[in-house]
Amino acid sequence: MQLSVQAIQVIAILISALALGVAAWLYTWVKSQPSSNARIAEIGEYIRQGANTFLRREYLVLARFTAVAAALILIFLPRPIWTGSFSENIWMAVSYIVGTAFSALAGKIGIQIATIANMKSAEAAQKGIKPAFMVGFRGGAVMGMAVVGTSLLGVTLVLMLTGDASAVLGFSFGASSLALFAKAGGGIFTKTADISADLVGKVEMGIDEDDPRNPAVIADNVGDNVGDVAGMGADLFDSNVASMAAALVMATSLGGVYGNNVKMVFAYAAIGLLSSIIGVATARIGKSGDPSKALNSSTYVTTAIFAVLTALSTYVFGFEWRIWGATAVGLIVGTIIGITSDYFTNDAKPPVHQVASASKNGPAFTILSGFSYALLSALPSLIGIALSALLAFNICAPLGAESGLAAEYGMFGVSMAALGMLSIVGMIISNDAYGPIVDNSRGLAEMGGLGEEVIAISDELDSAGNTVKAVTKGFSISAAGLTVISLLGAFMSEVNEAARTLGLASEGARFIDNFDIMNPTVFFGLIVGVAIPAVFSAMLMLGVDKNAQRMVAEIHRQFDTIPGLKEGKEGVKPDYDKCIDIATTGSIRELLPAGAFAILSTIVVGFIGGAEAIGGFLTGNIASGLLLALLMSNAGGLWDNAKKFVEAGNHGGKGSATHKAAVVGDTVGDPFKDTAGPSINTQITVVSLVSSILATIFLQFSIF
């Protein structure tokens, strides 16, 4: 059976529309759930207003950046307008703007549902774990369906309208650049508030996590939304779009924009979204069930459905089985990486228990043990990424053996493995957004005075959310790893195409076959690329550090100057808005320098060493970025759940010396897992896209 590319694209648009329709239904269902607690409604409104105020101020700053970047693209990319490529530049600039707009919309939708679902889930917990779980999960699923629906819709429309895969790179760059700044800004906000609230509240004063006397407690809950919902949603939107963009660039270079390879990309992406819709619809939990098991089961169901449906489509439409095999490799390895992350961060597993036990001897041992386990945790994931790239390359390379395109087909196989790993991203985002929703609901349950039993239910949901967040972060980082390896292939395709256009290579010939690290120019780029993720991470964490110190000082000021606040006298309230303002102002001030540094360093290396230096730069950036991202993400999740394990009554429980040591570990891990770690995978995607978009410029203008 044969279908045209246009027919498959129409099917992809229809499935995107179905996903958006499911998101709308879930939103309506969550909103219709009962809520009657006036105190929860009051605090929930504080959180909603704070999150929307931050998002509005952040988006105004990013709109200015987008306008400047779009103007530069219009003038210079893909080629300077004075060379006669004005129409291509217009499409590239428009695609870039649409990419940023879609990414921003995904974040806004996430904030809108999360700040409703948190209140509804808190009140549903009074009826038991099942209704509270369903509200939290379906709230997260609104985000999952909206993000993947808009990403598939955007990529499909851009390629249909332009007929140029390079324009899809522009769309992806728009999504990635906004995600980079949104994740960095949201991460700085949320960890500023979280660290400050924990250090003053738990460590100094020995009060509960969400005690309403703490001036930073509302800012902390706002941060869960702007960092873990809007920021992480933009991050996974970017990863999904980037994987499709890389696959489409190589697919079109191998068989044209209407070839069979392009059909496979859209067919598999559409099937992945359909599988996630089915997975979300089948998610259930028993009355006394395990929320972690329910979340993981839904993921496995989605994975199995995708594997079966893609195999069926390959048979029916006559696609290449080797390419399906590469996609299946990515899917399987993604699942294994998720299981590995779960082992090192789940509070039911030995590493968390060991770190909690080590905390009995003080915070130094908390840090040492947690950091060591995090280093160990990076190995299985890195081996998985490397092995999946190796297998996918070798599975698909024979397709081009006779035509001399073995390397190109091998890299296309890697891009399809990345697409396979991200195929169930709708379910992954649903699980990820569930985390901050139930985290907020736990705080609302405490501040709303719903009682210890309800708080215990919320704690169980929150613990599952922490584990799932660690799994989804590991999954997204690993998928980003495969994606940027395929983007490296896309960069080579763009360089070779640009070289032929500029007359630097004859038709059908390659300007670059590979990047030889013994070449001094490549090695120069490699060493610089290794350093960029470390500097980028340092800039973000120093931003958290400086901002948290300002907020700690403000919390102390309020406790010292507001009579009756420390004692919890009735009618005495802290100035929550002041802490929200400190977090907002500081995060917006700190978010631009780190992102601009990553982009500008790429451009400088390109102008110094040209395409060869950029090849080395991307290789080094990918290798060190993946290590740091996995290390920091898993360390933070491990320390967080070690703290929760102690708070559950183990090793002395709340208020003990062990608890205070575990809280210190958690505060160190906060910027690891929620600021720097997940931002690095966006950074490596951004610099890869910048490199591909500027390939022609680097060929024309470089010192060496």
* DSSP-based three-state secondary structure for 237: helix
pLDDT (0 to 100) of residue 478: 73
- Can you give the length of the chain in residues? 704
Query: Which segments in the chain show pLDDT lower than 70?
Result: 84-85, 287-288, 466-467, 469-471, 473-474, 508
pTM above 0.85, yes or no: yes
For helices 217-225 and 86-124, give the axis angle rounded to 10 degrees: 130
Question: Which residues 6+ apart lie within 8 Å of 93 measured at CB?
Answer: 70, 71, 73, 74, 77, 170
**pLDDT digits over 682-700, tens only?**
899 999 999 988 988 898 8
Can you give the pLDDT at residue 477?
A: 72
The token duo for 399 is 């397709």
Rounded Cα distance between 124 and 131, Å, is 6
Cα 106 to chain center, whole Å? Answer: 12
The SS3 assignment for 211 reads coil
217 neighbors 443 (Cβ within 8 angstroms): yes
**Dist CA 475 CA 637 (whole Å):** 14
> With the C-alpha atoms ordered 615, 238, 629, 268, is the resulting torsion angle positive or negative?
negative
Query: What is the rounded CA–CA span in Å between residue 605 and residue 703?
Result: 10
Q: What are phi and psi of 214, to 5 degrees?
A: -75, 120
CA dist., res. 364 & res. 358, Å (int):
9
Place of tokens 């906000």: 189
What does 83-151 look like in DSSP terms, one character per residue? GT-HHHHHHHHHHHHHHHHHHHHHHHHHHHHHHHHHHHHHHHGGG-HHHHHHHHHHHHHHHHHHHHHHH
Contact between 133 and 461 under an 8 Å Cβ cutoff? The reply is: yes
Question: 507-512 long-range CB contacts below 8 Å, 24 or more apart?
Answer: 511/611, 511/699, 512/611, 512/612, 512/615
| End-to-end C-alpha distance for the chain, whole angstroms | 52
- Who's near 241: CB < 8 A, 6+ residues apart? 99, 151, 154, 155, 171, 172, 175, 176
Domains in the chain: boundaries: 5-700
DSSP classification of residue 81: G
Q: Enter the DSSP assignment of 399.
A: G
H-helix segments, 260-362? 260-282, 291-317, 321-345, 350-358
pLDDT of residue 235: 80
Of residues 502, 508, 488, the one with CA closest to residue 405: 508
**DSSP conformation letters of 612-649:** HHHHHHHHHHHHHHHHHHHHHHHHHHHHHHHHHHHHTT
pLDDT at residue 674, as a whole number: 84
For 457-498, how does the pLDDT look when each residue is reduced to its tens digit (9 = 90+)?
888 888 787 667 666 766 777 777 888 888 888 888 888 888
Q: What does each C-alpha distance from 480 to 177, 232, 270, 680 come to in angstroms?
A: 15, 13, 19, 10
